[in-house]
Chain A
């Protein structure tokens, strides 16, 4: 499609603003980068950095009140900003494509999939029949089995992974010069995400398309892109080849960001996660000097006064910092390492789950959400729960808390069985088991002040009123680092991180023995996430509280968990110490899951591809439920017999027909010592 040599995308000094109440608020400030033909470029940043806005600017689909206030964008040599009318439509039809989050919403619900894909061809001039044929081909190319039947379906009849493939098919139908992907796999299961990313990488190679990949996830970017640009508050603060940036970052923000992410098997007892002090600037705020100066521990007076120029520590590697040579020496927050006493397994367990099963009735089908889950949690330990959709981890958490009553099985606290529903539990039992939710926006009552929320919790959970309550509230507040001012505010005035702190304080009001953390940092930015994780670890060390920690982010789970439980289709597949489960030898599913998740450390693991989607919990496969996708399936035994959950090593349980020693060989760990501790 391209007629001239030169970069596929060239953005020069782009300035973009949103008009809010008559005032232009800058969202992108002088952003410049380019992507060569057939290369991939990642744009990474946290919320409010403007990365999605940049993408919208490039495709010319800004909201009503957004406008480009300066700079140039050219795609394939064509000045995109000057296009209008027919030329603009042509640009969309031939040159550029975009794929977003939430593929289900991106497809027209009233139109058959085949017709929608065919539209991408008819707009290029193909006839009806021809377009249909090409649509079929396109679906085949994105590895959809049986594309013929998929063509005739409606979007809601497809799974999330399939929907995204269809969107990708539409996007690549025109063989564009530039493909933009904006968080395309957020919301998809890890194994499905890996498939989609592999597909994109493969297609990119085949079609030689330039790719702009936008994400907040450095792991994904490092896997998919050759070069990366880091956006902060609308400014491109650092740019360069991915590996260089990760190993030798030259901007304090990048340095800080990398330090926030739990990497390389670091665990909570080894060291604290570093955090970036301060808050992300709100979208559209006017900033003097370096955009990062307020939060930079290297910053001096000059940084606050003058915007640093673009420096180039190496060819192709730029940084916007006065002190980029010293960036790696960014002073850490003076945080002492935490003293975490080892979990004493000689005492009785705090919580015992005995053969928990839960069957839901849904439209006449029986959905087995949990089957025979047996586990124990000791005081002060963190049990990480890992699994994809349909694994049952949410159901397990709710059963624990009594929100849902198990069909069979019991939950015992300190040896005493708990009433299955929370309404029947005593106040003491209620205060012992608390929860921190995923979404801080809905977890707090919008109409109550923080003060009121905490005082009420203290009253109900700790039985305190009056000055005693007041005193404890001050303690709690300072423990989670809330200021006096925050106490008087309502949740809507707080940032996500602050809200989550309040939620944590609330859960701890009654000195619980166990707190269920249901994806507590998934809705937060990376820099905020680190602070919350640190807080949870501190509280654990201080109060010897146990956690059941649910997260889809394996790095985080590994960091904070003592032991990890892997769930698949409601069944416990593996349970063991965090290091053992992660390093192996481990269950084939765990193996595949770990290989699917892209990490910043990257490399090392061969991708283990799992075919297809997770089977429906309404009709689980016979025998070992994983056998339909297991790359290490033995044979008929896996189809007929469900393997029992047995202790294969000390403290390490697994549900697999393959003996552990054989797994050790197969997974290439034969040189490691079996676990004895």
Chain B
């Protein structure tokens, strides 16, 4: 198990390193662009050059990369060009906000999705299964803002139960915050349900098909025991691993939803940075999202390893 953990950790770190390289490379597709894009097309070439000098974008790429990477390791994510504040001051709170939304979305959807997936698998081929599967496909396929718009119309405008934008008044308590976050969270849950329900269903079907389920059934165990101790115990850990990975993805995939509800999360921040050509903020944000994903994936692997005796304990003695 230790070996497994170390190996995964090593891989994650390498991937992170490569990500930083890729991000850096992409952001420098058009070197020297920075000065121009900040000052605009009408500024003089001298002022552009001056700014580039000041920002250090004229130096060799390797030096720039090392500088940047070095800064990252010290926690310095660079400076937002547009707002002239350290990137972390903007990204930090934004991540926290996105996290709140993501967590709420998960709390809403996970129990229902897993339950849905399990029921669909148990009723394989029957109308219930078909219904859940179709719902899953459709909901997962729809762009989140489309579901969002429909939900806004139903709950926000026609029924008027929930606020349409996710901007709560200053100093609002947790309950109020949740009320404001409910619509965007529901929007996300709808999409997540699609993925999670289908993956759960596939895992449970595999477990139902297996030889050990047959053994359990033929022992005369009541079906509740068979399902609980034999089927789910083997089907759920891989599902949980996949679900955990979805969390990582969620952080950046929130863009459209945050945009729709005008919620100042990390997705919206990145979008803004993009609009204003604020490359330092943009690259910092992207790297941060990638890191979150890798961390979450690593934790998910860890969780899976703990639940799977084969990995936890090793092989034949």
Known A61-B217, A64-B125, A119-B221; contact A105-B210, beta-carbon cutoff 8 A? yes
Which residues of chain B have C-beta atoms less than 8 A from A61's C-beta?
Answer: 214, 217-218
Known A110-B234, A111-B230, A157-B315; contact A105-B212, beta-carbon cutoff 8 A? yes
Contact with A along B214-248 (1 / 0, CB 8 A): 11111111100000011001100100000000000
For residue B211, CB closer than 8 A to chain A, the reply is yes
Q: In the complex, are the beta carbons of B222 and A170 less than 8 A apart?
A: no
Of A93-101, A233-241, A452-460, the one touching chain B: A93-101
Distance from B317 Cβ to chain A, minimum over Cβ atoms (Å): 6
Which residues of chain B have C-beta atoms less than 8 A from A120's C-beta?
Answer: 219
Known A157-B313, A159-B316; contact A123-B221, beta-carbon cutoff 8 A? yes
Contact with B along A74-104 (1 / 0, CB 8 A): 0000000000000001111110111010100
Which residues of chain B have C-beta atoms less than 8 A from A59's C-beta?
Answer: 218
In Å, the complex CA distance between A154 and B313 comes to: 9
- CB < 8 Å neighbour of A108 from B125, B234, B307, B314: B234
Per the CB 8 Å criterion, the residue count for chain B at the interface is 27
Within residues 400 to 449 of chain A, which ones have a CB less than 8 A from any CB in chain B?
none
Distance from B247 Cβ to chain A, minimum over Cβ atoms (Å): 23
- CB < 8 Å neighbour of A89 from B125, B215, B222, B308: B222
For residue B123, CB closer than 8 A to chain A, the reply is no
For residue B59, CB closer than 8 A to chain A, the reply is no
Q: In the complex, are the beta carbons of A92 and B233 less than 8 A apart?
A: no
Within residues 183 to 228 of chain B, which ones have a CB less than 8 A from any CB in chain A?
210-212, 214-222
Contact with B along A104-133 (1 / 0, CB 8 A): 011111110000000110010000000000
Within residues 293 to 317 of chain B, which ones have a CB less than 8 A from any CB in chain A?
307-310, 313-317
Closest residue to A105 on the B side, CB-wise? B211
In Å, the complex CA distance between A98 and B217 comes to: 11
Q: In the complex, are the beta carbons of A102 and B308 less than 8 A apart?
A: no
In Å, the complex CA distance between A515 and B230 comes to: 47
Closest residue to B310 on the A side, CB-wise? A156
Q: In the complex, are the beta carbons of B309 and A167 less than 8 A apart?
A: no
- Residue picked from A59, A64, A109, most chain B C-beta under 10 Å: A109
Which residues of chain A have C-beta atoms less than 8 A from B309's C-beta?
Answer: 109-110, 154, 156
For residue A158, CB closer than 8 A to chain B, the reply is yes
Distance from A618 Cβ to chain B, minimum over Cβ atoms (Å): 11
Known A154-B310, A156-B310; contact A108-B216, beta-carbon cutoff 8 A? yes
Within residues 18 to 61 of chain A, which ones have a CB less than 8 A from any CB in chain B?
59, 61
- Residue picked from B220, B234, B309, B310, most chain A C-beta under 10 Å: B220
Closest residue to A98 on the B side, CB-wise? B218
- CB < 8 Å neighbour of B310 from A109, A123, A159: A109
Which residues of chain B have C-beta atoms less than 8 A from A91's C-beta?
Answer: 220
Which residues of chain B have C-beta atoms less than 8 A from A98's C-beta?
Answer: 218
Which residues of chain B have C-beta atoms less than 8 A from A110's C-beta?
Answer: 233-234, 237, 307-309
- CB < 8 Å neighbour of B317 from A90, A97, A119, A157: A157
Q: In the complex, are the beta carbons of A107 and B220 less than 8 A apart?
A: no
Which residues of chain A have C-beta atoms less than 8 A from B237's C-beta?
Answer: 110
Q: In the complex, are the beta carbons of B212 and A107 less than 8 A apart?
A: yes
Which residues of chain A have C-beta atoms less than 8 A from B210's C-beta?
Answer: 105
Q: In the complex, are the beta carbons of A170 and B234 less than 8 A apart?
A: no
Closest residue to B234 on the A side, CB-wise? A110
Closest residue to B317 on the A side, CB-wise? A157
Known A61-B218, A105-B211; contact A111-B229, beta-carbon cutoff 8 A? yes
Distance from A148 Cβ to chain B, minimum over Cβ atoms (Å): 15
In Å, the complex CA distance between A90 and B212 comes to: 19
Q: In the complex, are the beta carbons of B218 and A97 less than 8 A apart?
A: yes
- Residue picked from B217, B307, B308, B309, most chain A C-beta under 10 Å: B309
Q: In the complex, are the beta carbons of A108 and B233 less than 8 A apart?
A: yes
Which residues of chain B have C-beta atoms less than 8 A from A167's C-beta?
Answer: 215
Per the CB 8 Å criterion, the residue count for chain A at the interface is 31
In Å, the complex CA distance between A108 and B213 comes to: 8
Q: In the complex, are the beta carbons of A158 and B211 less than 8 A apart?
A: no
In Å, the complex CA distance between A91 and B216 comes to: 14
Distance from B241 Cβ to chain A, minimum over Cβ atoms (Å): 14
Q: In the complex, are the beta carbons of A94 and B308 less than 8 A apart?
A: no
Contact with A along B230-272 (1 / 0, CB 8 A): 1001100100000000000000000000000000000000000
Q: In the complex, are the beta carbons of B211 and A100 less than 8 A apart?
A: yes
In Å, the complex CA distance between A158 and B313 comes to: 12
Known A154-B310, A156-B316; contact A92-B215, beta-carbon cutoff 8 A? no
Closest residue to B223 on the A side, CB-wise? A89
Distance from A418 Cβ to chain B, minimum over Cβ atoms (Å): 35
- Residue picked from B210, B215, B309, B313, most chain A C-beta under 10 Å: B215
Q: In the complex, are the beta carbons of A94 and B220 less than 8 A apart?
A: yes
Which residues of chain A have C-beta atoms less than 8 A from B222's C-beta?
Answer: 89
In Å, the complex CA distance between A156 and B234 comes to: 14
In Å, the complex CA distance between A191 and B174 comes to: 68
- CB < 8 Å neighbour of A93 from B215, B220, B233, B308: B220
Distance from A241 Cβ to chain B, minimum over Cβ atoms (Å): 30
Distance from A174 Cβ to chain B, minimum over Cβ atoms (Å): 8
Distance from B230 Cβ to chain A, minimum over Cβ atoms (Å): 5
In Å, the complex CA distance between A64 and B309 comes to: 31
Distance from B43 Cβ to chain A, minimum over Cβ atoms (Å): 61
Closest residue to B210 on the A side, CB-wise? A105
In Å, the complex CA distance between A155 and B308 comes to: 12
Distance from B226 Cβ to chain A, minimum over Cβ atoms (Å): 10
In Å, the complex CA distance between A307 and B218 comes to: 36
Q: In the complex, are the beta carbons of A123 and B219 less than 8 A apart?
A: yes
In Å, the complex CA distance between A110 and B215 comes to: 14
Q: In the complex, are the beta carbons of B212 and A106 less than 8 A apart?
A: yes
Distance from B95 Cβ to chain A, minimum over Cβ atoms (Å): 35
Known A93-B220, A94-B220, A119-B221; contact A107-B313, beta-carbon cutoff 8 A? no
In Å, the complex CA distance between A108 and B221 comes to: 14
Distance from B288 Cβ to chain A, minimum over Cβ atoms (Å): 36
Which residues of chain B have C-beta atoms less than 8 A from A109's C-beta?
Answer: 212, 234, 309-310
Q: In the complex, are the beta carbons of A119 and B313 less than 8 A apart?
A: no
Which residues of chain B have C-beta atoms less than 8 A from A107's C-beta?
Answer: 212, 215
Q: In the complex, are the beta carbons of B218 and A157 less than 8 A apart?
A: no
Closest residue to B213 on the A side, CB-wise? A108
- CB < 8 Å neighbour of A106 from B215, B220, B310, B314: B215
Distance from A403 Cβ to chain B, minimum over Cβ atoms (Å): 25
In Å, the complex CA distance between A131 and B222 comes to: 17
- CB < 8 Å neighbour of A111 from B125, B217, B233: B233
Which residues of chain B have C-beta atoms less than 8 A from A108's C-beta?
Answer: 212, 215-216, 229-230, 233-234
Closest residue to A122 on the B side, CB-wise? B221
Known A156-B315, A157-B315, A158-B316; contact A106-B211, beta-carbon cutoff 8 A? yes
Which residues of chain A have C-beta atoms less than 8 A from B221's C-beta?
Answer: 89, 93, 119, 123
- CB < 8 Å neighbour of B218 from A92, A102, A111, A154: A92
Closest residue to B212 on the A side, CB-wise? A108
Known A89-B222, A111-B233; contact A170-B317, beta-carbon cutoff 8 A? no
Contact with A along B136-152 (1 / 0, CB 8 A): 00000000000000000
Closest residue to A99 on the B side, CB-wise? B215
- CB < 8 Å neighbour of B220 from A89, A100, A156: A89
Q: In the complex, are the beta carbons of B219 and A102 less than 8 A apart?
A: no
Q: In the complex, are the beta carbons of B220 and A92 less than 8 A apart?
A: yes
Distance from A30 Cβ to chain B, minimum over Cβ atoms (Å): 26
Which residues of chain A have C-beta atoms less than 8 A from B229's C-beta?
Answer: 108, 111
- Residue picked from A89, A94, A102, A108, most chain B C-beta under 10 Å: A108
Q: In the complex, are the beta carbons of B214 and A92 less than 8 A apart?
A: no
Closest residue to B222 on the A side, CB-wise? A89
Within residues 501 to 519 of chain A, which ones have a CB less than 8 A from any CB in chain B?
none
In Å, the complex CA distance between A64 and B123 comes to: 12
Q: List 14 A-B contacts (CB under 8 A).
A: A61-B217, A100-B211, A105-B211, A105-B212, A106-B211, A107-B212, A108-B216, A109-B234, A123-B221, A154-B313, A156-B309, A156-B310, A157-B315, A157-B317
Closest 4 CB pairs of A and B: A93-B220, A92-B220, A105-B211, A154-B309
- Can you name 5 extra interface pairs (CB under 8 A) apart from A105-B212, A108-B234, A110-B233? A92-B217, A109-B310, A111-B233, A154-B309, A157-B317
